[in-house]
Chain A
């Protein structure tokens, strides 16, 4: 589903990613973790070209991402993304947030788009909030709307960029529950997160990054049970230690 081959990325003179190789298969759930500044957000943002890589190849569902706008468009239609800061459209209601892209990108008739939207709102358990504006919702509710918004485009792959980092502790679970459910249904997922509990229950593979490199990639049992590198051990002791 995702294939990255020797991908490097620079911000001006700072190299954010160093020859990263990573493959995510169909239906696979990959959790990316690592200390801040390790390049995990940059890595996930390459997948739908919110950032452009300079070296190597990124292939998503058989389409190689280059400067070609058609390739980028094709990939973005297939890939849903959820952000740390939700990024809902504040001037639109919840329902309008959900129907906007299907109506304007996929040309789905409005009525059908609204039915789909209500279906996914029910799935994230907030159908009663459809007429409200994002600012009237709690953080957890907003993030669930954001997940529903991505799902309304019927993506083949979902990207989560630290989806619970901006949430109050009591709201983290409601978002993770939705994500776990989504994983159970077989969605291909790439998740950047510090929620190690989520990684243990859901992930097929945990990718540990540090300094722009993939340092370790292993199934959760192996990664958490017997990390190979000192850096991973240090990171785990810091994340799990408290």
Chain B
């Protein structure tokens, strides 16, 4: 009771607010529960869905294979399924500090190779599947993983370059960052998918997935660079003085003294940008790649199932939320250490 009073009725303002919230929940929650659970249709039966009052989870049940795996050959869905679990497993494994050893990079290398083998196939008697047909969950996760894996180191170089003593390097980095930041990601993706092939010599082709991936890396690097720069600027001048006085040369000074401190300060805004990037991968749908959100959109175009957009997008939101919330919680625990 005491806890209740202190936390919810600490003052008149807090008390009024609590009552207001209770009222809103009392009005909104029962209808939502009715819709989402009690009246919901769970069987994949469009007729029952249209007749019923509640949510049509049958749609998700019916379409989950396509939503999760896109146009990947139906009978081979076990391959992206394992790949997805493997990739999520790698992320979770890497979240534990005790595993932050040199061999973690080997674990990733092996893991990503396995994922590549599973997705492409073509050896060990597995059928070859070209990456034009990859889609759904694994595509979102792969775009994020490789996007961040390349964009983050690139962003550190850009941020360092922007603070360099050498005017040419500084100008190049500032120019790059400002140029990319000044352009929407959508137009970068369009450029990558439409314009880039025009500049390549005939005969040379880079497939669509790789082009999108490169565009996303370039985009994310510009944003992350500014975050890292913020961290660099927060390092007191005395740290540089001490490093200079000890005769530490540039790269050792940067690697041993400056970056460890700068990146630690930047964890909250970095995670913020990571989360934004994870969600931005959904923009690849405009150039015809089937990530998680695109597969949902396409599922909705099925004649027999039109009109269940709320359920579909709620499901998408839940999946995205689960990943973003996990990242956010992890960053919180990281900041406390």
**Which A residues are within 8 Å of any B CB, using their own CB?**
48-50, 73, 76-77, 79-81, 83, 85-91, 100-101, 104-105, 149-150, 153
Q: Please state if B239 and A104 are interface contacts (CB–CB under 8 Å).
A: no
Which B217-271 residues have C-beta < 8 A from chain A?
Answer: 236, 238-239, 241-242, 244-249, 252, 256-257, 260-261, 264
Q: Please state if B252 and A104 are interface contacts (CB–CB under 8 Å).
A: yes
* B-chain residues with CB within 8 Å of residue A83 when the two chains form the complex: 238, 241-242, 245
21 A-B pairs with C-beta separation under 8 A: A50-B244, A50-B245, A73-B247, A73-B249, A79-B245, A80-B245, A81-B242, A81-B245, A85-B238, A87-B236, A87-B242, A89-B257, A90-B261, A100-B246, A101-B246, A101-B247, A101-B248, A104-B248, A105-B246, A105-B249, A105-B252
Which B110-138 residues have C-beta < 8 A from chain A?
Answer: none
A86 to B239, CA, bound (A): 9
Q: Please state if B246 and A87 are interface contacts (CB–CB under 8 Å).
A: no
A80 to B241, CA, bound (A): 12
* B-chain residues with CB within 8 Å of residue A104 when the two chains form the complex: 248, 252, 256
Q: Please state if B245 and A48 are interface contacts (CB–CB under 8 Å).
A: yes
A16 to B119, CA, bound (A): 67
Shortest B337–chain A CB gap in Å is: 12
Shortest B9–chain A CB gap in Å is: 40
Given A90-B261, A104-B252 in contact, is the A76-B244 Cβ separation under 8 Å?
A: yes
Q: Please state if A76 and B245 are interface contacts (CB–CB under 8 Å).
A: yes
Shortest A125–chain B CB gap in Å is: 22
Query: Which of these, B244, B249, B252, B261, contacts A48 with CB under 8 Å?
Result: B244
* B-chain residues with CB within 8 Å of residue A88 when the two chains form the complex: 242
Count of residues in B whose CB is under 8 Å from the partner chain: 17
Shortest A113–chain B CB gap in Å is: 13
A225 to B245, CA, bound (A): 36
A90 to B239, CA, bound (A): 9
Q: Please state if A89 and B241 are interface contacts (CB–CB under 8 Å).
A: no
* A-chain residues with CB within 8 Å of residue B236 when the two chains form the complex: 85, 87
Q: Please state if B238 and A105 are interface contacts (CB–CB under 8 Å).
A: no
Query: Which of these, A49, A73, A89, A91, contacts B242 with CB under 8 Å?
Result: A89
* A-chain residues with CB within 8 Å of residue B239 when the two chains form the complex: 87, 89
* A-chain residues with CB within 8 Å of residue B238 when the two chains form the complex: 83, 85-87
A9 to B248, CA, bound (A): 25
A129 to B261, CA, bound (A): 22
Q: Please state if B245 and A91 are interface contacts (CB–CB under 8 Å).
A: no
Shortest B267–chain A CB gap in Å is: 13
* A-chain residues with CB within 8 Å of residue B241 when the two chains form the complex: 50, 81, 83, 87
A183 to B255, CA, bound (A): 35
A150 to B239, CA, bound (A): 14
Q: Which 6 A-B pairs have the closest CB atoms?
A: A76-B247, A87-B242, A101-B246, A87-B238, A81-B245, A77-B247
A181 to B90, CA, bound (A): 55
Query: Which of these, A73, A87, A90, A100, contacts B256 with CB under 8 Å?
Result: A100
A145 to B264, CA, bound (A): 24
* A-chain residues with CB within 8 Å of residue B257 when the two chains form the complex: 89
Shortest A80–chain B CB gap in Å is: 7
* A-chain residues with CB within 8 Å of residue B249 when the two chains form the complex: 73, 105
Query: Across the two chains, which residue of chain B brings its CB closest to A79?
Result: B245
Query: Across the two chains, which residue of chain B brings its CB closest to A153?
Result: B246
A77 to B238, CA, bound (A): 18
* A-chain residues with CB within 8 Å of residue B247 when the two chains form the complex: 73, 76-77, 101, 105, 153
Query: Across the two chains, which residue of chain A brings its CB closest to B255?
Result: A104
Shortest A128–chain B CB gap in Å is: 23
A13 to B225, CA, bound (A): 34
Q: Please state if A105 and B248 are interface contacts (CB–CB under 8 Å).
A: yes
* A-chain residues with CB within 8 Å of residue B248 when the two chains form the complex: 100-101, 104-105
Shortest B75–chain A CB gap in Å is: 52
* B-chain residues with CB within 8 Å of residue A79 when the two chains form the complex: 245
Shortest B158–chain A CB gap in Å is: 23
